[in-house]
Every structure is written in C-alpha cells, then in structure tokens.
Chain A
Amino acid sequence: MTRMRARLLMLHLLVLTLLVVLAVRLWQVQVVRGQEFVTRATETRTRAVIVPAVRGQILDSSGRPLVRNKTALVVSVDRARLSRMKDSGVKVLSKLSAVLGKPVADLQQRITPCGPGVGKPCWTGSPYQPVPLDEKVGTRQALQILERQEEFPGVTAEIHSVRQYPGGRAGAQMLGYLQPVTEAELEKREGLKASFSGVDLAGRDGLEYVYDDALRGKAGLRRVQVDRMGKALGVEEQITPIPGDHLVTSIDSRVQAVTEKALGRAMKSAPGADGGAAVVLDARSGRVVALASAPGYDPEIWGGGISARGYQWLLSDKSGKPLVSRAINGQFAPGSTFKISSVAAMLRAGYPLNGHYSCPGSVAVGGRAFNNFRGIPLGTLSLHMALVKSCDTIFYQAAYEQYLKDGGRFPKRKPKEVFANMARSFGFGAPTGLDLPGESSGRIPDRDWKKNLWNATSAINCERSRKGYPEEKDRARAEFLKRLALENCTEGFLLRPGDSANFSIGQGDVLVTPLQLARAYMALVSDGKLRSPRIGWAQVRPDGKVVRTIPVPVVGRLPISEKERLYIKNALSQVAADGTAAGAFAGFPMNQVRVGGKTGTAEVWGKKDTSWFASFAPTKNPQYVVVAMVSQGGMGAQTAAPAVREIYEGIYGIKRKPAVPDGRLTTRLPRFAPDGTVAGG
C-alpha cells in the first residue's frame, strides 16, 4: 500500500498544479487582459450603423431651392457578398436586371471597383460599401426585392434622400453633382472618415464640391447589438445625425432661368454654334447672379449612379461636352471686348486721354498690313469713339509702338509690356478665384509665354520645317504649314510685331474665360476694384441661424485713375445705343434702362468667329454686368448681343413680367422659419 500512497501523492501534486495553472491563466485572461477582450467583445457584439445626415439644400438669393432633397427608394448591392457566391453573383444580378430593366453588363460594370483598365461607370467608393444601382425604383420593384430576400441575397432596397433639381438643366455645371466617397477622399479628409457610411455621397463638382463640408452635416450613429447571425437584438447607443447646413447663393433662380433661355436661343440662332456661356454678376456686391453654360445637361443623370453611356455622353465631342462649364472653363480669344484693357494700357503708356487718334483702314505693323474691320477707315477719333466704333488700327498702332519701345524683336533686359501687364491688372491670365473647382486661367501671350512655348515645341516645329507635311493632301496648305513650322522653329521664341498688334484687340493667342471678362467689366464699371466673385452667399443652419456669410474678397485695383475709368465706362455706355451693338438693341427702351457694353468678334483659325458681348446696366450706378459668349457664333452684335438684350429684357420685365422687381437685386439674406422653411426674403 505504501507504493500506492506514494503514487497517489504524486497525483495530488499533479492535480494541485493543474488547478493553479487554470487559476493563473484565468487571472491573466480576465483581469490582466480583461479590458482588451471587452473591446473585442464590443466589436463582435455590435454593429455600428451610420445614419446619414440630410444634406443641406442649395438655395437661391430668395431662398428658392436650386438643389433640394426628396426621398426615394434606392436599390443597392453588397459587392462583398456577391463576390463570395459561387458564380460571383451573376445569377442574382441577372434576376435584378429583370426587375430593374437594366442590362446585366451595365450592372456588373457599375459594381466593379475603379482601377487600371476599368472604365467609368465603375465603382469609385469603398469595396466594403453597398453599391447603389438604382435610385428611381418604384414601390412595386422594391417590394419584389424585399419580399423575396432569399432570391436576392446581398440586395437591399432602402429609403434614402436623393438630390432633386427644381430648375431642371439650369446651372447644372455650377451646381455640380454627388458621387460615392472614394477611399482616397476618406483618407484625405479626417472628418469624413467618422461619418463614413455605405450610402455616403460626396460633392464631386461645382458648389456641391466646394461647400461639401457645410452641406454634408454630421452623420449619426446607431450601435446595434446583434447576435452571431447578425440579427439585431436591440439598440445600444444612438447619436442622432446633424443635418447639413443650407447654402444660400447669390444666384437668382428667375434670372438664371432667363439667362439659360436666352443662351439657348442664341445657340439656336447661330447655325455653327458649338458652345456658349452667359454670366450675370451683381456689380454692387461682386456676387454671381446667374451662370449658364451651353450645351447643358439634366443633373438627374447622376441619380442612382450614372450609366456607362451617360457618362460618355457627358464628355463626348458629339454632345459638345455638356459637363464642361464654358463660363469658367471655356477659353476663347475675347476680340474687341478686350479693348477696355488696351485703352487703359494706352493711358498708362502716356497716350493722352483727350487726344485725337487717326483710325485709317490699315496700318503697317512689322512690314505687314493690319486692317480695320473690313478695312474701313473711320477718320480721326477720340478714344471714346474708338471704343464706340470699335476701331482696330488705333490699338494696332499703339501696341506696335510700345512693342518697339520695349526693343521689338530684341527686347531690353526688362521690357515694360504695358499691354500684357494691364491685361493682368484686369484679372486676365489667372483664375478669378470663384467658388467653383477647376477654373481655367486663360492666357496672356507675353514674351515669357512665347519663350516657354518655343522651348516646348521647337523640336517638332524644326523637324516639320525640314520634312514638311507629306501626309497633307492639299499641297498649298502643306506648303503653308511648312513655312509656319519654319518660322516657329527659327523665331518662335520671339514676340513678333504682329503678335503684339493682335493682342491689343483681343485676337491671336490671348484667351479669356467669360467669367474673367465679366469681372474685368465689373471692376471697370463699379469702383475700379477687382474682386473674386462668389456664388455662395451664406451658410445657414436648417433652423435659420446664419453660420457665416461668405465675403467677396477684393483681389486687386485697376491701375487707372477714377477719371480714366469713368471715361472708358462712359464710352461703353454709348455702344448699345449708338455703337456696334446699336442694331442688336434697336427698340430697346434705353430711356428706361440704359445698357452699356462692348461687342467682340474673335477670329478662330479654321473655325467661325467667337461672338462676344460684355455689358452692364443701368449705366448710371450699374447693378448688373452681363457677358455672353457663343463659340462659332459669328459676330458679337449678331449672336451674343441679342442674347444679352434678352437677359436684360427678362430681368427688367420689358414686354413681360420682370424677373427681378424693379431690376433691383435683394441685398438681404432670406429669412428662415424655425422649422427650416423659407419665411420670405
């Protein structure tokens, strides 16, 4: 028995050891690492459901909605779940395609994440987000999906709020659009990460993009307790979402509508027109009243995810790239509208304000003849009349003289370049800083620009000058191109006399955007200060409290005296009444509203002229600056000026109800009732 006792004692020790091991390990798991497991338990036991915040509306200056929300049934697909299926979800998608009436291939492409070799409309959002496939499903279709979940695994139909555009196509490019948040955006913006959800959309262009943070609001959170199968057991924590703020803009939706209509009519009136823009600024505040671009598109196209065809259409040459706003991205030679800058440059260069200048039919610049419009001599003119009658030769002559003063072909160390620098002072050659993304800067072709261009292109030009253009069928044209290449190769870095002459009347290489031109005119006719225009006016909380008013910053001053400025403005005030636009404004009640302005007809090599009209009204203490541009629209007086006239007629209610009472724009923000409705402005 002693042997057995000994062995039992051994067992005793073993049992004690095992008990101690268990106790120590329990202490380690539950007490030492307890907190860690509490965290992990919370992670496994709960699901955070993001409750998206209602996005703020974009309102016009009187509180009328430009973009608002409506609730819609949205069908979305959980990609991750589909990809785990044996057939990668093809069966589910084909069933879904039958219900939604969309081709399977289209649905498949829309759920494929964007990447190399994957074209639009691929999925730009996170691979873990459900992909919305249709935002316009009917109740019947939604029920079909919801009632037979076993046949549609990974597909949901939920009520979401989607954007609605009461103005239809009006200002589509300016308003912008929403698209699902990309992972890159999430990384970039810390605040976005917290409010990330499966249905999160971010502004991708236009006002929606620039004011995204204000409009977005703050998503709420519902922490739901779930079981192993993901079934919800109860709500553990709830944070209500904070709705986004409204953006009150200075856009007047009535003026915007009038502007869109006038632009559309102008486009139709010119047979070759391939694009146009119209800008209406409030000369007293520096804000944008209307911004239109043609061709336009219906922003509803973005709803529910854009289709492959839809996206291609928005960017195709055939449709005229309606996604691109000509008002801020269209860069065209400004033609004679540019002469306000040239007159100012002449004054800066010392030409007398009250002098008399000869306007012959033609002047020789660098050995080449530069003609007036149709070569008609206009006699001796004051600068005032030079603008009214749009004489070219006076400006050619002055620009050429300044060119020679700078040293001509072989410039001094520091050429003055009076014309180019004055153009810059008028805000050309740089973005206006408007609150829209992707604005173009236009182009001032000065000596530096020429040099840089030559550095970039001389290799090709020089090769062409040797080899010619054998692929060109027209021999005369091939010969011309070869000579051009040779000239560009040998002296392309030089600003030639002709370049400077062309620049003075807004032809040649100079490019401006309609918005740049409008704000240059605004500076000239208001107070000589160059402003960075704004569309956004105020950020207003849904309960009506104004969070902030968006100021219109002054970014420069025209380098001319008040007397000179008023002289130019006075000259322009006569154009519509007696000058080049007199025909277009025939019958317009000038005694009621006097409109001033300047026509522009810019020649484009190989294309029809660009038609411009830059204007302001009333000439005494102007309220509006209106610029219209029609690409390939012909003469300024022919296409753009009538469009501008129509805009003024709409605003002031000539032969119809005025869009703006008394033509006077509101200076007060709309008032909101506490429930968020507009009480009246």
Chain B
Amino acid sequence: MTARAVTIRQPSLWRRMAREGSTVRRLDGVMLVAVAGLCVIGTLLVWSCTRTWAPGSTGLVKKHLLNEAIGVVLCAIVATIDHRAMRAYAPLVFLLSLVGLGLVITPLGATINGSHSWILLGGGFAVQPSEFAKVGLVLIIAMLLAQPAEGSDRPRGLDVMLALFAATITMGLVMLQPDLGTALVLAVITAAGLIIAGVRKRFIGVLALIAAVGVFSVFYFQMLEPYQVARFTAFVDPSVDPRGVGYNSTQSLIAIGSGQLLGKGLLGGGQTTGRFVPEQHTDFIFTVAGEEFGFLGSVTVVLLLGVVLLRGLKIARECDDRFGTLVAGTIVCWFAFQSFINVGMTIGIMPITGLPLPFVSYGGTATFANLIAVGLLQAIRVRRQSFS
C-alpha cells in the first residue's frame, strides 16, 4: 500500500521499473547496495595507497573506476540473462575459460609480479584468465551436478566424475602458472558444488582424504616454490624472519593495529603513506582500511562482505531449481573463502596467499569476474519462481 502511494509521484520510467513483478523490483537491492558500498570503499582505498607512487598523481584510481564501470555493465548484462538459458551456455563458457588459461602458457602469456597468469592486451591493459576460470568452473559444475539421479536427490556418479575432471583440468592449468591461491579457490568451488548437490558424505570424506594426501605430498616432495613454503613458515611464526617473509604479515599487522578504534582518517595512514606494506592496493588492501578507518571501518567492510554472502545464500535457498541453487551456493563459497583468507592473512590468522579481496582490491579481471558473479546471483534471484 505504501509502496503504491510513493510510486504515484515517481517518474514513469521508475514506475515501470518498480512495478510489482518487474525485473528491477525483483533484484536483491540489499546485496547491490553492499556491493556498491564495497566498491566505493575499494576506490577510496586504492586512491589512498596508490596516490603516493608519484607526486601529485591520483595513482590507479581512474583505472580502477574504469574497471568498476566495465564490471557494472557486465554485471547488468549477466543479470538480464535467464539463468536457465545460461545452463546451455555453461560448457561454452567453461571451454572459453580453458582456452584463456591455455593461452597464458603460450608465448602470449606474461609475467606480472612473479606470477605468469596474464595475457597482455596492449595499451596497458591485461587480463587474468584464471579469474574468469572461476566463473567457468562455477557454471560447469552447477550444470553437471544439477541433474539428480533417477529417483534420488543426489547427482549421478558419472556427472560427479565429470565435474571432478573439469575441476582437475582447470586447477592443473592454474597450477602451471603457478597460482596457488586461485587453485585453492577453484578447489573450494568444486567442493562447495559437491556438498550442496548432496553428494554422499562418505564420498566427500574420501575426496577430503585425497586432498589431504595431495597437500601432504606437495609439501613432502617439495613441489612448492620456496617462497610458498617460506610463507607458511612465516605464518606459523612471523618472528622467524621479520625482514624477509615475515615482513609482510608483521607490517600488515602493524598497519591495521595502529588504526585502533577510529582509524587515522582517509589518507592519514602513516604506514600506508610510507608504503611499508607491500602489494597494498591488491592483496593487502584491507590494511589500508584497517589503518585509515580503524576498527569501525574494517568491521564495516567485513559486515558488507557478510551481507553479500548471506544475501547470496538466501538467493541459493529461495531458488527452486538445482542449477540456480548450485550456482548461487558455489559463488557464495568462492567469495567467502577468498574474503576470509584475504582478511585473515592481513590480521595474522591465515597464511599469506596471493588472493585479492572481492570488490575492494584493485585488479581489472578480478573486478569483472566478481561483478559477473554478482550478476549471476541477481539473474537467479530475478527468475526464482516464488510468485508462481
């Protein structure tokens, strides 16, 4: 009733959009506000920590705004697609993402910041196919596991095997770069898909065991790069080498801790200005929030992430087709894992892993992928069948 009273005074376009049952009315506004909030905060933080790179510059903020604008367009396009149609495109999207990952290994690939995971597009632009691979894997796994076995609500064994196969190929290509962080995200997406799809606990247990053996042998046979081992050592005891590998975690703790309750104010962070924390605009962006906005600011970031995650879970629950639920659920797990690892490593409860903070960190491809995922969530919500 009140809604109608308000709409009378709205312009006609808004009235049409706000009409009950319209696409706009069925979008998850709360989630979009949270995502927008994170993007705005991210922009401010990127500005704060990159403006010092050159005197008088605005740093990477313009490029970051452009990335976000492109991401919003992508998000809007994806949101308009019927997610059931998406199911048909899933194999294509997945194959495209594999091609992207494959190109990285060819001479087209480029190494930036020690990780060979880029394809240069010229004009200072580069894409990171491993970010798109997350979307591709989400879709293919949801597609494969959406069809339950005859007379059961568990997925068929063959489909599970195919899903694992798809995941293994993707992760294998990512590990060739090598990008351990993204590989872990892909593993989480796969595991989330299997769990949500209702695969037997026994089977999941076996997979977990295999994963554990895998992790152990990776360590045991020293398949990791020395820097990766060092990061884990430093995580267990940061005082081992405070100037070397322990430096990052020590400095990020100092930056965040010195923000105290209220923070030092935007652009007021001495640790940020002095660039004591490395990779501060990407993986360690949260330290800027911690130092300049204090506990209140950093908890706000965590809360906004929480809103996105919980609204995503709500979308998954309320969707009444298995594909939609699986897509939404795996996306939530992807975001949750990446957020927790990222924030956790800056405050010393997780080892240092090169994962950006969704919606906040600088990074074009990651922003695109994250906003595409938001678009997927919205698409699923818009077409839920709660009104039928």
Contact = CB atoms under 8 A, between A and B. Distances in A.
A29 B349 CA distance: 11
B332 interface: yes
Contact of B196 (A4, A35, A227): A4
B312 to A, nearest CB: 9
B294 interface: yes
B310 A12 contact: yes
A30 B154 CA distance: 46
A158 to B, nearest CB: 24
Given A12-B310, A22-B344, A3 B198 contact: yes
B310 A29 contact: no
Interface in B314-358: 316-317, 320, 322, 325, 329, 332-333, 336, 340, 343-344, 347-349
A262 B344 CA distance: 83
Contacts of A7: 195-196, 198
B154 A3 contact: yes
B372 interface: no
A228 B274 contact: yes
B23 interface: no
B251 A8 contact: no
Contacts of B153: 1-4
B271 interface: yes
Interface in B237-256: 251, 253-256
Nearest to B259: A30
Interface in A1-49: 1-5, 7-8, 10-12, 14-16, 18-19, 21-23, 25-27, 29-31, 33-38, 40-41, 44-45
Contacts of A225: 270, 274
B258 interface: yes
B65 to A, nearest CB: 26
B329 A29 contact: no
Please report whether the interface of chain B is mostly helix, strand, loop or mixed according to DSSP.
helix
A11 B298 contact: no
B316 A30 contact: no
Contacts of A8: 196, 313, 316-317, 325, 329
Contact of A41 (B255, B316, B320, B329): B255
A44 B251 contact: yes
A45 B269 CA distance: 10
A22 B348 CA distance: 11
Nearest to B337: A18
Interface residues of A, number: 39
A11 B256 contact: no
B254 A30 contact: no
Contacts of A5: 317
A432 B320 CA distance: 106
B347 A34 contact: no
Please report whether the interface of chain A is mostly helix, strand, loop or mixed according to DSSP.
helix
B274 A26 contact: no
Interface centre among A10, A19, A30 (most CB of B within 10 A): A30
Interface centre among A22, A35, A226 (most CB of B within 10 A): A22
B322 A4 contact: yes
A30 B329 contact: no
B313 A1 contact: no
A31 B297 CA distance: 12
Interface string B155-183: 00000000000000000000000000000
Given A29-B253, A45-B271, A37 B343 contact: no
B99 interface: no
A315 interface: no
A575 B333 CA distance: 112
A4 B270 contact: no
B260 A31 contact: yes
A233 interface: yes
B33 interface: no
A31 B325 contact: no
Nearest to A236: B270
Contacts of A44: 251, 254, 271, 274, 276
A11 B153 CA distance: 19
B155 to A, nearest CB: 11
A19 B347 CA distance: 13
Given A25-B347, A30-B290, A4 B276 contact: no
B352 to A, nearest CB: 16
Interface in B258-280: 258-261, 270-271, 273-276
A136 B255 CA distance: 45
B197 interface: yes
B275 A227 contact: yes
A26 B325 contact: no
Interface of A: 1-5, 7-8, 10-12, 14-16, 18-19, 21-23, 25-27, 29-31, 33-38, 40-41, 44-45, 225-228, 233
Q: 5 closest A-B pairs (Cβ-Cβ)?
A: A37-B257, A34-B260, A41-B258, A30-B295, A227-B274
Interface of B: 153-154, 192, 195-198, 251, 253-261, 270-271, 273-276, 290, 294-295, 298-299, 302-303, 305-306, 309-310, 313, 316-317, 320, 322, 325, 329, 332-333, 336, 340, 343-344, 347-349
Given A23-B302, A36-B257, 20 more contacts: A4-B153, A5-B317, A8-B317, A8-B329, A10-B195, A15-B309, A15-B310, A15-B313, A18-B340, A19-B303, A19-B306, A21-B344, A22-B343, A25-B344, A30-B260, A31-B261, A34-B258, A38-B260, A44-B276, A227-B276
15 contacts: A4-B322, A8-B196, A11-B329, A18-B336, A23-B299, A25-B348, A26-B295, A29-B253, A31-B260, A34-B295, A37-B257, A44-B251, A44-B271, A45-B271, A45-B274
